[in-house]
Amino acid sequence: MNQIQAISNFTATNPLRIGTRKSPLAMVQTRMVQAQLIAHYRLSEGSITIVPMVASGDKITDRPLADIGGKALWTKELERALIEDKIDLAVHSMKDVETIRSDEFSIAAMLPRGDISDKIIGASSIQNLKHKARVGTSSPRRQAQLLAMRPDLICESIRGNVATRLGKLKAGEFDATLLAAVGLERLGMGDLGEVIDNMLPAASQGAIGIECLRSRSDLKEFVSTISDNDTMICVNMERAFLECLSGDCHSPIAALAVRKGGQIYLRGQILSPDGSDQESGNILCNDEDCAAAAHTLAKTLLDRASLALRQYFEI
C-alpha cells in the first residue's frame, strides 16, 4: 500500500487510531502528533482519533518505577493494543521507552525535540536549598546529580503526574522537586520553576516518538513525513549509549547528543547512586558512525571509572 492509499483509508468512519497514556501530558503530546498529521496531509478532524489508556505505571504510584517493572510499565498496554489491532499508532515520551525492545515494533518517527532542561520547583536554585532539604525525585539520575552537588540533601521518592507532584510540594511533603522543562511547557506551565544549569539530561529527554508494528510499512511511510531527522539520529545515539551500559531504571546515566556543524556531538555521564563517584566525557562523529561512537564513549567512561562505580554498569 502506498502513501496515497494509506491516506485515503483514514476517514471519520474509519479513522487512524492513535494510542496514548491517559495522563494530561501524554494527551497533549498525542494531540501534537494528531495536529501535525492533519495539517501535513490536510485531513479532516475526524480522520484521526485518540485512544487514551491507563498504563500500569500510572496505576502504581507509591513505589519507584525501578522497583515495579521499569519502563515497560509505560508502554506494554499500548504495544499490546498495537498487536491486537485496537490502535494503529502509539505515542510515547522517548525517555519512557525501553532501550532493548521486541523486533515486532518500530519507532517510525519522532517530532522535533523540545527543551531538554530540568527545572527545580520550590527554590531558586539547588545551591539555595536549605541544609538537608527534602527533594522529591524518583529518578536515579536526578538523585545522583543532586547529591553530587549537594551531599546533604535528602532525596525521597515522588510519583504521579505533574499536578500530583506539585500538589505534594504545596502540601509541604517536600521542600523542592525536579521536573522536565519540556513537560511544564507543553502543559502551559513554562513559567514555573528555574532551569538547572549544567545538569545533563536523561537520554531521549524532550523527544516524542511514534510507534507502529514493524510490519506496517504503510504506516511507517505515512508518519515519516512529520519526523525530524536530527532528533531521530541524536535520540537513537543516546539510546545506543544507554544500551551499551545496560542502562535501566536503576542506572544513574545522563546523555545528550546534538548536531554540531555536519557532525553529532554526544556527551555522556555515569554516576554512583549517591553521586559520590562519576565519570563524564564526549565524542564527535559522523551520522553513520553514531552507534559505534556511542559504544566507544560508554567503554571509555567505564575504562576510566573506579571499580566501585563500574559495578553499577555493564558493557
What are the residue numbers of the active site? 96
Residue 76 contacts residue 97 (beta carbons within 8 Å): no
Closest by CA position to 312, among listed 266, 260, 270: 270
Cell numbers for 85, please give them. Answer: 489491532
Q: How far apart are CA 4 and CA 310, in angstroms?
A: 52
Question: What are phi and psi for residue 61, nearest 5 degrees?
Answer: -120, 10
Give the torsion sign (CA, 224, 227, 233, 238).
Answer: negative
Sheet of strand 263-271, all strands in order from the earlier edge strand to the far edge: 253-260, 263-271, 278-285
Q: Residue 258's closest CA among 116, 133, 121, 150?
A: 116
The secondary structure of 223-271, three-state, reads HHCCCCHHHHHHHHHHHHHHHHCCCCCCCCEEEEEEEECCEEEEEEEEE
Q: Does an H or E element contain 278, and which?
A: strand 278-285
Q: Are 223 and 232 in contact (CB under 8 A)?
A: no
Instruction: Give, for 90, the enclosing helix (H) or strand (E).
Output: strand 89-93
